[in-house]
C-alpha cells in the first residue's frame, strides 16, 4: 500500500460529493482538509484528520499563510483540489512548497478560454472562430457567421454561457455575460472579466477523461454529454461509454490527447469537453487539468472501466509513480450521471420522486445539493444543480430508457410555483 499514511492537503471541495474523501480513506491516506469557512465544519467526513477553515476568495493572502503555516508544522506530501476556481491558487502553492503539480502557467492557460483557444489553434487543433472582446462596442462592426456562443473568459459551470443567432441577440448576451462576470463570477475571478465569442459547434458533446504520465496521455473514458442547442447550456446527462463507432472514438481520443499535450498537461488528470460538428470533426470546447465534476468523473471512470481514477491522481500529487496503465481500457458497465434539471426558479421546497427512485436497482447514489428554503435564481445566473442521480445499467439503451423515466418522475418544487 504505497499511499498508506501519506499526508495529503485538499483545498476546498463540495462535501456533498464525497469521492475524494472516500477514496483517500480506502487507501489509508491521511488528509488535512482546508474547507470554505463560510460553511459549517464538515464533521460528517469521519476520515479527515484535520479541518482548517479558509476564506480563499475574500482573503487569499491569509489563506496562503494558513496553509503554509500548517505545512511547516505538519508537512504535506502533496496538495490538490478538484474545485475549478481554486486550481490556480493550489498550483501556485504547490510550486512555492515544492510539492508535485503542474505549473501555474499551465493551469492559468487552461482557466482562460482565450488563451486556451489560442494555444490549441497554434498547435493546429480544430478551432472554431474565436475572439475576446471587452464590450459591445467592439462587435458593432464585426462580421460574424451566426450562431455564436458568448462566454466569460474565466468562467466555470456554464455560468453566463449563451448562444446568439444574430447581432441583436449577441449584444443582449454580452450585457448578460458582463453581469454574470460582475455579480456571479467576480468573487472568483477578480479582475479577469473578459468575454469570448466563439462560433457555435452544432453537434453532440462528449466528456473525455484522461490521465497523463510523462507526456503520454491515456484516454480513460469517453462519455456522452447531450446535444444542447442553447440558448443556455445547463448540463443534463453524462453517460459512459458513449455509443460510437470505433473510428469516431479514435478521432475523439486523438483530438483530446493532442489538446492535453498542447496545453502542457504532462502529468495528471484532464477533463476535456468536446463537440462533433455536422461533418463529424471533433472540436475541443474546453479542458480542465483536474478530475471533472468535483469527482463525478472519478465515479464514471471507476464504475465503467474499473480504473480507480482518484487513486491515479493521488499517486501523482503525492509524488509517486502511478501503476502502469494500458493503452486500451476495459469496459465493464454503462454508467451515468442524471443531473436533475433546475426546472425553474424561486424558493426551493423539495424534489418529488427522489425517494422512489432511490429504491431502483439502477440507482447507486442520489446526491442532493440544495436545501429547503434556498433561493434559486433564473438563468443565466446559476445557483447550483438540485442534485445528481448516479446510475449503472447493462446497456446504453437501458440507461436512455431509465433517464426518460426520470424526466417524467423527478419534479423540482418551488414554493412560489410548481414546474411541470
User: In this structure, what DSSP letter does residue 128 have?
Assistant: -
Please, which residue, 77 or 209, has the CB nearer to ligand ADP?
209
* Rounded-to-10 torsion of CA 29, 30, 32, 35: 50
Q: Which of 67, 106, 125, 161 binds ligand ADP (CB under 6 A)?
A: 161
Cell numbers describing residue 229: 442547442
The grid coordinates listed for 187 are 468573487
For ligand ADP, the closer CB: 27 or 180 = 180
Dihedral sign computed on CA atoms, order 339, 345, 348, 351: negative
Query: Pick from 19, 83, 89, 156: which binds ligand ADP (CB under 6 A)?
Result: 156
Binding to ligand ADP by CB under 6 A, coded x per residue (else -) over 245-284, reads ----------------------------x-x---------
Q: How far apart are CA 116 and CA 199, in angstroms?
A: 15
Cβ proximity to Ca ion: between 233 and 402 the closer is: 233
Nearest to 207, CA basis, from 132, 143, 130, 285: 285
Closest to ligand ADP by CB, 7 or 163: 163
User: What is the nearest approach in angstroms of Ca ion to the Cβ of residue 85?
Assistant: 13
* 111 lines the binding site for ligand ADP (CB under 6 A): no
| 93 touches 73 (CB < 8 A) | no
The enclosing H or E element of 210 equals: strand 205-213
Q: Which does 228 bind (CB under 5 to 8 A by kind): ligand ADP, Ca ion, none?
A: ligand ADP
Least gap, CB of 364 to ligand ADP (angstroms): 24
The binder of 391, among ligand ADP, Ca ion, none, by C-beta within 5 to 8 A per type, is none
Q: Which stretch binds Ca ion (CB under 5 A): 81-89, 119-127, 278-286, 313-321?
A: 278-286
Number of residues that bind ligand ADP (CB under 6 A): 19
Half-sphere exposure of 369 (CA within 13 A, CB side): 19
**Separation CA 295–CA 311 (nearest Å):** 12
Taking the C-alpha atoms of 65, 21, 37 and 63 in order, what is their torsion angle to the nearest 10 degrees? Answer: 10
* Site for Ca ion, residues 284 to 303, rule: CB under 5 A: 286
**Interacting residues with Ca ion (CB under 5 A):** 286
Amino acid at each position: 500500500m504505497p499511499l498508506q499514511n501519506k499526508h495529503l492537503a485538499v483545498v476546498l471541495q463540495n462535501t456533498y460529493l464525497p469521492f475524494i474523501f472516500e477514496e483517500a480513506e480506502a487507501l489509508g491516506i491521511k488528509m488535512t482538509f482546508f474547507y470554505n469557512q463560510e460553511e459549517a465544519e464538515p464533521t460528517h467526513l469521519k476520515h479527515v484528520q484535520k479541518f482548517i477553515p479558509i476564506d480563499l476568495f475574500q482573503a487569499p493572502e491569509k489563506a496562503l499563510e494558513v496553509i503554509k503555516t500548517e505545512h511547516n508544522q505538519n508537512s504535506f506530501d502533496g496538495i490538490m483540489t478538484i474545485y475549478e476556481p481554486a486550481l490556480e491558487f493550489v498550483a501556485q502553492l504547490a510550486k512555492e512548497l515544492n510539492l508535485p503539480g503542474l505549473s501555474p502557467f499551465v493551469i492559468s492557460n487552461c482557466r482562460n478560454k482565450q488563451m486556451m483557444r489560442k494555444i490549441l489553434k497554434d498547435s493546429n487543433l480544430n478551432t472554431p472562430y474565436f475572439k475576446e472582446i471587452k464590450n459591445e462596442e467592439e462587435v458593432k462592426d464585426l462580421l460574424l457567421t451566426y450562431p455564436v456562443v458568448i462566454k466569460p473568459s474565466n468562467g466555470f459551470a456554464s455560468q453566463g454561457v449563451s448562444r446568439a443567432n444574430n447581432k441583436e441577440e449577441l449584444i443582449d448576451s454580452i450585457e448578460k455575460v458582463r453581469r454574470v462576470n460582475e455579480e456571479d463570477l467576480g468573487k472568483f475571478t477578480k479582475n479577469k472579466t473578459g468575454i469570448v465569442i466563439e462560433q457555435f459547434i452544432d453537434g453532440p458533446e462528449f466528456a473525455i477523461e484522461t490521465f497523463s504520465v510523462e507526456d503520454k496521455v491515456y484516454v480513460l473514458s469517453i462519455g456522452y454529454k447531450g446535444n444542447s442547442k442553447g440558448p443556455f447550456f445547463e448540463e443534463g446527462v453524462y453517460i459512459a461509454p458513449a455509443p460510437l463507432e470505433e473510428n469516431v472514438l479514435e478521432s475523439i481520443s486523438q483530438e483530446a490527447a493532442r489538446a492535453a499535450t498542447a496545453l502542457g498537461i504532462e502529468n495528471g488528470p484532464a477533463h476535456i469537453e468536446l463537440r462533433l460538428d455536422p461533418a463529424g470533426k471533433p472540436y475541443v470546447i474546453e479542458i480542465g487539468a483536474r478530475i471533472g465534476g468535483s469527482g463525478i468523473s472519478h465515479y464514471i471512470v471507476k464504475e465503467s472501466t474499473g480504473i480507480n481514477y482518484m487513486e491515479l491522481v493521488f499517486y501523482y500529487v503525492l509524488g509517486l509513480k502511478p501503476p502502469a496503465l494500458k493503452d486500451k481500457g476495459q469496459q465493464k458497465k454503462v454508467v451515468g450521471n442524471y443531473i436533475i434539471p433546475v426546472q425553474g426558479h424561486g424558493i426551493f421546497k423539495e424534489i418529488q420522486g427522489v425517494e422512489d427512485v432511490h429504491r431502483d436497482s439502477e440507482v447507486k447514489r442520489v446526491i442532493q445539493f440544495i436545501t429547503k428554503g434556498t433561493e434559486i435564481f433564473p438563468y443565466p445566473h446559476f445557483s447550483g444543480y438540485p442534485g445528481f442521480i448516479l446510475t449503472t445499467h447493462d446497456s446504453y439503451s437501458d440507461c436512455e430508457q431509465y433517464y426518460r423515466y426520470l424526466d417524467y418522475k423527478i419534479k423540482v418544487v418551488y414554493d412560489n410555483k410548481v414546474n411541470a
